[in-house]
Structure 1
Amino acid sequence: MSHSAGASERTIGQLVADASRDLSALVRAEIALAKAEITAEVKQGAIGAGLFVGAAVFGGIGGLFLLLAFAWLLTLWLPYWAAFLIVAVLLFLVAGVLAFIGKGRISKVGKPERTIATSKQSIEAIKGHR
């Protein structure tokens, strides 16, 4: 019995080509999803980094100006060394608070959960069709 291929039947080569094309499209879609999700997370990280920069600015430049102004004021009641020490400690506290807030913002940056989930589903689907 001879079985001739009808017009609606596809060859193995065509099926493999279609599967390869579909797999490429799936990978491109996964990459696009990862880019979109990571972009949002990077924005949160950038805000946290900006807060760290703010902490550095206040810790450095602010330390110079406030140290001089407030320390000179305190020298009216305290020895010079005590006045300058108090001002320095206060400036380091401000820098520490800003760094703590910045760390909190950066720690909110999460993994691309949707991308991970859809990638796992895709891998399972590919494994199931082997």
Structure 2
Amino acid sequence: MSDQKPDPKRERPRQKRSLAALLTSVPTQVQELVQREIELLKTELIEKLKALGIGVGLIAAALVVLLFFVGVLLTLAIIGLSYVMPDWAAALVVAGVLLIVAVVLALVGYGVMKRGIPPVPTEAIESIQKDIRAVRGVGKRGER
């Protein structure tokens, strides 16, 4: 710890601002508030659109996997199962398994996609409405 004394030139006491100074700073503060709200809006929209995109991508992947399974494993599984059971039963078993896999992938994709729907920035809108109420002077204490 050092025994240095604070420099009186560096530490300035906070001066009270006049009403005129406060009123002239209002437009700047409102502009800053609007800019921050726009940034919040952008961030929230990007977040929701990402979730929507991931969900759509997962559903598309489910369809591609379904096509691959139908093309390759269906034939292979039917041939393998036809040694144990009739051909029609082997085809039915393989088709049922593929359907279950496709449904699981689609449900997972839908769940992820649902987080982005609707792509409306609800938090930003709520914050803007709160700011408007504050500017108007409407609040919980003095409801008008």
Determine if the alignment matches structure 1 residue 112 to structure 2 residue 129.
Answer: no
What's 1:37 paired with? 44
| Helix, strand or coil at the partner of 2:126 | helix
What's 2:87 paired with? 80
Within a 5 Å distance, the mapping from 1:1-130 to structure 2 comes to 26-109=33-116, 112-128=121-137
Q: 1:28 and 1:124 mapped to 2: Cα distance?
A: 18
Q: 2:33 and 2:19 mapped to 1: Cα distance?
A: 25
* 1:8-27 superposed Cα distances (whole Å, 9 cap, x missing partner): 997xxxx8xx8777655544
One-letter amino acid of the structure 1 residue matched with residue 110 of structure 2: K
Using a 3 Å threshold, how does the CA distance of structure 1 residues 33 and 47 change in structure 2: closer, same or farther?
A: same
Unaligned runs of 5+ in 1: 1-7
* Range moving further from structure 2, 88-97 or 58-67: 58-67
TM-score normalized with structure 1 length: 0.71
Per-residue deviation at 1:41? 2.1
Unaligned runs of 5+ in 2: 1-17, 139-144
| Cα pair 1:75 1:83 within 8 Å, conserved | yes
One-letter amino acid of the structure 1 residue matched with residue 124 of structure 2: T
Q: 2:19 and 2:103 mapped to 1: Cα distance?
A: 71
Using a 3 Å threshold, how does the CA distance of structure 1 residues 64 and 45 change in structure 2: closer, same or farther?
A: same
Using a 3 Å threshold, how does the CA distance of structure 1 residues 87 and 37 change in structure 2: closer, same or farther?
A: same
* 1:56-109 superposed Cα distances (whole Å, 9 cap, x missing partner): 011122211111000111111222211111111111110000011111212233
What is the alpha-carbon root mean square deviation over aligned residues?
A: 2.8
Percent identical among aligned pairs is 34
Q: 2:127 and 2:65 mapped to 1: Cα distance?
A: 44
Q: Which has the higher helix share?
A: 1
